[in-house]
Amino acid sequence: MSANPSEEVNPGASFLASAQSALKDAATALNLDPNIYAILKTNERSLIVSVPVEMDDGHVEVFEGYRVQHTGARGPGKGGIRYHPAVSLEEVSALAQLMTWKCALVNVPFSGAKGGVSVNPRELSVNELRRLTRRYTYAISPIIGPRTDIPAPDMNTDERTMGWITDTYTMLKGESSGEIVTGKPVNLGGSVGRINATGLGVAISAEQALLRADLNPQQCAAVIQGFGNVGTWSARHINDLGVSIVAVSDISGGYYNPQGLNIDEMVAYTKSSPSRTLAGYGAPGLQPISNEDLLTLKCDVLVPAAMENQITGANADKIQAKLIVEGANGPTTPAADTILQRRGITLVPDILANAGGVVVSYFEWVQGREGFYWTADEVRERLHRFMEVAYRDMADFSQERGVSLRQSAMMLAVQRVADALEMRGVFP
């Protein structure tokens, strides 16, 4: 550790640099108009807010919150809200840009946005979290709205959080405003199939990658890093394909069984556990494993579904997976990308692999505006269609241009946004 805290690496700044580097590479490969590139490498709007919260004991804590809108070229802003101590303006800016490319790649009429509060939600009571959410919603309310910027759940936020935002925004506006967020409870106008949408999208992407690699899912093994919403649903849906899940991890550690894990049992355990983690879970044949060793296990499919910057230049040479499907945002650094590509390991990038959530968020937004709701089968069928078409477009472009899937996804997405900007022109 550096003796001077100011000399320590800022993970958010590093993440933003990676996002900017990916955009620059795509712009260069596309020979993009420099004027368009100048617009795309900046945020349209960045808001920093103070979030004072009266704690249960009566004292006031002040947290810092953010909402970033990258560009409005293809429609309203769309992106989650996360609660985590590491949340920073740089991290949120990078995530907003990723949302722009994600929405463009799967062809939903949204642009990229993201928000968050720098806070450890595990240290707050439910009442403190509710007050935090309401004050944060009030603070960002001038720049969000059903036709301008629609938040959604992200790390450490969920449908309950979205319910609080819906109520707060409705009280502020004095009119029913259910379309202000997606990912809210079904009885508040949420869509069926939203809670598992990101994990299902990861599984659909994994299935498409396995098919193109001529691998039989029923003869494959998968490793999942992260056992939150994305990780658990990814594990469940990949398991449904016939793939054996041999290892998973969460903040309590890694759990490995070469014969396969009982994912439903593990999910049930986390729901009843006081810590809501796998801490203390045991089963025959189960072996503890470090997060570092988990990432380098021999397997067919590796799904990093935890935090960004997990596969790096330091461990990419040790990865033994045949396919990597990015469930988290930005889990692989550019240095690792280069190594994995050189080693011939197929990587399905985050802007496609975890786009299931934003696709079903789009479905929810459409249903809310129409006041007409779809069945679970209709949502699932439409999600499959969107994801499979997007995967085909990305894979075909990759073959045509002789580039990696990540480069292909970025180039396609950037070109679509650039086309929209060119058609709209620069105001005034």
Per-residue model confidence (pLDDT) at position 2 = 37
pLDDT digits (tens, 9 = 90+) for 241-275: 999 999 999 999 999 999 999 999 999 999 998 88
Q: How many CA atoms lie within 13 A of 330 on its CB side?
A: 26
Collapse the DSSP code of 409 into the 3-class scheme (helix H, G, I; strand E, B; otherwise coil) and give the result: helix
- How far apart, in whole angstroms, are the C-alpha atoms of residue 79 and residue 100? 9
Q: What Å distances lie between residue 259 and 215, 218, 286, 296, 300, CA to CA?
A: 19, 13, 9, 17, 14
Per-residue model confidence (pLDDT) at position 13 = 84
Per-domain boundaries in the chain:
43-175, 197-343
Collapse the DSSP code of 78 into the 3-class scheme (helix H, G, I; strand E, B; otherwise coil) and give the result: strand
- How far apart, in whole angstroms, are the C-alpha atoms of residue 200 and residue 12? 28
- How far apart, in whole angstroms, are the C-alpha atoms of residue 253 and residue 243? 22
Burial class (CB in 10 A: 0-12, 13-18, 19+), 391: buried
CATH of domain 197-343: 3.40.50.720
Candidate list 24, 41, 78, 114, residue with the active-site label: 114
β-pairing, 111-118 vs 77-84, is parallel
- How far apart, in whole angstroms, are the C-alpha atoms of residue 428 and residue 405? 37
DSSP state of 157: -
Cβ neighbours, 10 Å, residue 222? 30
CATH architecture of 43-175: 3-Layer(aba) Sandwich (3.40)
pTM score of the predicted model: 0.89
Catalytic status, residue 318: no
List CB contacts of 55: < 8 A, sequence separation 6 or more: 61, 128
Asked whether residue 160 carries a pLDDT value surpassing 60, the answer given is: yes
Whether 103 and 361 have beta carbons less than 8 Å apart is answered as no
Per-residue model confidence (pLDDT) at position 53 = 98
- How far apart, in whole angstroms, are the C-alpha atoms of residue 80 and residue 83? 10
Asked whether residue 9 carries a pLDDT value surpassing 70, the answer given is: no
pLDDT digits (tens, 9 = 90+) for 24-53: 999 999 999 999 999 999 999 999 999 999
Average pLDDT over residues 238-242: 97
**What order of strands is seen across the sheet that includes strand 244-250?**
287-289, 253-256, 244-250, 221-225, 298-304, 320-325, 346-348
Least confident of 11-20, 33-42, 94-103, 377-386: 11-20
DSSP state of 261: -
CA 162 to chain centre: 16
The reply to whether 43-175 and 197-343 are identical in fold is yes
Q: Which two tokens stand for residue 41?
A: 């490498």
- How far apart, in whole angstroms, are the C-alpha atoms of residue 117 and residue 415? 32
